[in-house]
Structure 1
Amino acid sequence: MTSKSHSKLYSRPGFLIRRLHQIHCALFLEETKEFNVTPVQYSLLSVLEEYGEMDQLTLALRLGLERTSVAEVIPRLEERSLLERRVNESDKRMKMVKISRKGKNLLKKMSDLAAKAHERTIEALDESDKAVFLDLMTKLVKENNEFGKAPFKS
């Protein structure tokens, strides 16, 4: 990967981050193929399980995704009865979303396989390097969050 013609490209953080993300998505889909759930869908369901019912904008902010992206994912999960949507009683323009019992069961079944995909993504690192790598990625995300198209808000 470090041939002279590619060395500049392969030393760029943006390229490496994008490539590692591609690799992780492929590993996630390989490990969890029997469930037909994308990494974004899994993350969305995970946030709903952890934080409970919320409006779609808050959900998008917690995921660091654009509202339109979340609005495209939700109907697919709703069709599979993995989440439920309703109109907010106090603001009829707002849609509330919560994970369904079926969605919770799916997350439980997928949990070990999703964790395996995460582990496979960084398995080339020893334990101390894994911790450092995750700390550094967290720092970069926090310090640069405001520059993202859809800033993450916990």
Structure 2
Amino acid sequence: MIEKPTRKSMQEELAQRQARSALFSRPGFLIRRLHQIHTWLFAEETQRFNITPVQYSLLTVLVEHGEMDQNTLALEIGLERTSVAEVLPRLEARGVVERRQSPLDRRVKLVKITRKGRDLVKRMAVAAQRAHDRTIEQLPPAERDLFMLQLIKLVEANNDNSVVPLRLR
């Protein structure tokens, strides 16, 4: 029978791990490091597709929501408009997205995924999921859902206009 850890045992384990490094007391460091690890795992699992995690997120949102303007797309994936504007030409050159001016407002660019893009997302799904699974596989299965729920709560709680979207470099 698997015993559920008590609050005290979790606090003791946390204290032991944090004693190894001051960095283990910094959520920002741990989140950045886990992001680095996931990015490496994603690249390893999906290298044959030559798509970055950001590009995959962008394509996934377009599959899910259909055509949308670049600003809305940027908000959906947590990037600045300019970052999305830099990524889209590369995807357009590969024929996986199409862009056009909005007939209602010529300043607005609309983006939609092509059939080739939908096919790419479908072909990548298993490899991308493997990367996601590998990112959290060290957690016991009973803790994975809790971890995901906590991540979602943190993202949603901090996903307001006071938090600056990511700017790619």
What TM-score does the superposition give when structure 2 sets the normalisation length?
0.84
Matched positions, count: 149
1:58-93 CA deviation, whole Å, 9 max, x = no partner?
A: 100111111111001000000000100111001011
Using the aligned pairs only, state the percent identity.
58
**Greater relative CO (CA pairs within 8 A, separation 6+):** 1
1:26 to 40, 43, 49: 40
Alpha-carbon shift at residue 94 of structure 1 (Å): 0.5
Alpha-carbon shift at residue 113 of structure 1 (Å): 0.3
Please list, as runs of the form range in 1=range in 2, the aligned pairs for 1:3-14 lying within 5 A after superposition: 7-14=21-28
Structure 1, gaps ≥5 residues long:
none
Alpha-carbon shift at residue 10 of structure 1 (Å): 2.2
Give me the whole-angstrom Cα distance separating, in 2, the residues matched to 1:52 and 1:3. Answer: 45
Matched-pair contact (CA < 8 Å) for 2:18–2:25: no
The residue type paired with residue 10 of structure 1 is F
Instruction: State the partner residue of 2:14.
Output: none
- Structure 1 or 2, whichever has the larger Rg, is 2
SS of 1:145's partner is coil
The residue type paired with residue 68 of structure 1 is T
2:118 to 104, 109, 117: 104
Please list, as runs of the form range in 1=range in 2, the aligned pairs for 1:105-144 lying within 5 A after superposition: 105-144=119-158
What TM-score does the superposition give when structure 1 sets the normalisation length?
0.92
Give me the whole-angstrom Cα distance separating, in 1, the residues matched to 2:54 and 2:152. Answer: 19
Give me the whole-angstrom Cα distance separating, in 2, the residues matched to 1:28 and 1:79. Answer: 22
Give me the whole-angstrom Cα distance separating, in 1, the residues matched to 2:61 and 2:69. Answer: 12
The residue type paired with residue 137 of structure 2 is E
Matched-pair contact (CA < 8 Å) for 2:61–2:76: yes
Instruction: State the partner residue of 2:51.
Output: 37
Of 8-17 and 33-42, deviating more is: 8-17
Structure 2, gaps ≥5 residues long:
1-16
Give me the whole-angstrom Cα distance separating, in 2, the residues matched to 1:140 and 1:54. Answer: 26
SS of 2:110's partner is strand
Give me the whole-angstrom Cα distance separating, in 2, the residues matched to 1:31 and 1:52. Answer: 26
Give me the whole-angstrom Cα distance separating, in 2, the residues matched to 1:72 and 1:65. Answer: 11
Instruction: State the partner residue of 2:75.
Output: 61
Give me the whole-angstrom Cα distance separating, in 2, the residues matched to 1:56 and 1:9. Answer: 37
